[in-house]
Structures are given as structure tokens and as C-alpha cells.
Amino acid sequence: MTTILTRRPVPGRIGNGDGEGSVQVQMDPTVSLGTAKVFAVYGKGGIGKSTTSSNLSVAFSKLGKRVLQIGCDPKHDSTFTLTKRLVPTVIDILETVNFHSEELRTEDFVFEGYNGVMCVEAGGPPAGTGCGGYVVGQTVKLLKEHHLLDDTDVVIFDVLGDVVCGGFAAPLQHAERALIVTANDFDSIFAMNRIVAAIHAKAKNYNVRLGGVIANRSAGTDQIDRFNNVVGLNTLARFPDLDAIRRSRLKKATLFEMEPSPELEAVQNEYLRLAATLWAGTDPLAPKPMKDRDIFDLLGFD
């Protein structure tokens, strides 16, 4: 598979297919993730995407689904609550064989985590060099070559930060639904609007659509609701700001492994409900991103 950084024209149209002035990482259109349901999780940096992704992966696995979680961050910390360690990245492993992927075995880059969730850390190029989209492409290529997607029901891409370039928007080319993790505050909703814009651009040429919003670390959702009502989104699940969630990261554990309590059981049930909802299928949403000034004026208290 060849990953190309290019301006992509759309047949019959003048301009750039993924947005005016865009320079996008394109994947080989013959490479797909098969019949699996594929979700890409985005959100502001530090909002809890990896915590959300890992616990959602476990929830899917507890529903009897075969799950693969792919971390798309050079920090390679998406899956450590599942595997109990920082596993080597695809790029790390490829470097050991001088990028001859045919020399790799499945166990070199795929690691089994809690409750059978399979884990891959794509990693990324060194800071200030390369393109994250290339790394995602190489990871998907390896998974296909080793037939690891043939028996997978659910794939979750956990993607760093908000979308700032075509490279880190690359998982959207594979996903069926994008999910946005946000809190009930200005900064994360402002970042959510940028993600909506990226998905709006990708949806012109790919099958990805927004599935909805996951409210995290939020006692209320009034600001999220205000934004959703304007752009055309809805909230799929809400998770409170429990100290058990913070402690689970320190214990390198998912929430399903923590000491039980009524509050924690409610969170676990919300993850199970969210997984069941996503598996059943969500309506494709087509929200329209707001202008920066408009969202600045929208949010806040009167």
C-alpha cells in the first residue's frame, strides 16, 4: 500500500475534494477494514479519549464482540490500561526489520489485553518529522497482510488531540462513525467544532459520518447541549468526574477491574449501554461547523 500526500481532486469538480487548500494523506482505496464496525475517537488533548476508548473496548468485549483497539499517538499510551504496559509501536517494530514488514509475526505488534481486547499502538514519527497519516496507513496494511481483521467485530481508532492536519485525520478514511469526546467547557467544545469541520470535509469523499458526542468528566451538559442544538449533534453517553476514573489510570487498569461501588457500577453500565447502542447502529449525522466567532459568542453564561 502506498500512502500519498497530495491534493485530491474530485471528478467533475473544480478544487480540492477534502476542503479548500487541503493537503491530504490518501490511503489505497483497495485497503479496507472488512466487515468490522469501525469507530474513530477524537477530542481535545487530555479530555480522556484513551480512557474512553479502552473502557468502550472492554464494554464491546463483554457483549461478546472481538475487539481491536489501535492507538494513533506517538506517546503510545492508548492501550496501557488494557495491556498493563507500554507496548512497542508499529513503527518501533518496523525499524527493527528495516521496514521489511514480511519479516514480522503477528505477536510482534499485536498484544492481547484485558478480556481479550487486541491492542496495537501505531505510534508516530519523531517530533517535528514525518506524517501521522503514513503511520496509520502502515498499521492498517500490516493488519490486512496478517489477516487480523478477518475475525474482528469492532475496531476503535484512538486518535491524539483535535484534528490539526490531514495526517491525523487519516483514521476517518477507514471509520464508519466518528465519536467526539468532550467536557462541558469552552475549550473542549471549541476543539470539538474543529473536529466537526474535519469530519465534514472527509465525508465528501469517504463513508465516515459523525455518530455523536460522549460527554466526559461532566456533571452537566448545558453547554454541550447548546452547541449540539446549533450544529446538529446529539450526546450518546455521559460520564461523571469520578476519582475512580483518575485512579484507574494510575493502577493501569480499566474501570471494569476497579473495586466495585455504586457510582462505578453506574459508569460501567453506561459504557455497556453505549457499546450496545453503537453496535445496533446510530443514525449518520451531518452537523455544520460554526465559525470561530459564532461559537465564541454562543457559549457561556448570560
Q: Is 75 noted as a catalytic residue in this protein?
A: yes
Identify whether 2 is part of a domain.
no
CATH number at residue 129: 3.40.50.300
Q: Is 297 noted as a catalytic residue in this protein?
A: no
Which of the following is catalytic: 49, 65, 141, 144?
49
Q: Is 144 noted as a catalytic residue in this protein?
A: no
Residue 63 annotated as binding? no
Burial of 32 by CB count in 10 Å (0-12 exposed, 13-18 middle, 19+ buried)? middle
Identify whether 32 is part of a domain.
no
Block means of pLDDT (10 residues each) for the chain, length 302 residues? 39 43 48 77 93 98 97 90 95 88 90 97 76 76 83 92 66 89 96 92 88 94 96 96 94 96 96 98 94 92 62
Residue 50 annotated as binding? yes
- Cross-strand pairs, 178: 40, 210
Which of the following is catalytic: 18, 108, 158, 162?
162
Identify whether 16 is part of a domain.
no
Residue 150: what pLDDT?
Answer: 81
Q: Is 44 noted as a catalytic residue in this protein?
A: yes
Number of domains comprising the chain: 1
Residue 145: what pLDDT?
Answer: 84
Residue 49 annotated as binding? yes
Q: E strands along the chain, which residues?
A: 4-6, 24-26, 37-43, 67-72, 111-112, 118-121, 154-159, 177-182, 209-216, 235-239
Identify whether 104 is part of a domain.
yes
Residue 189 annotated as binding? no
Q: Say how many CA atoms lie within 13 Å of 216 toward its Cβ.
A: 29
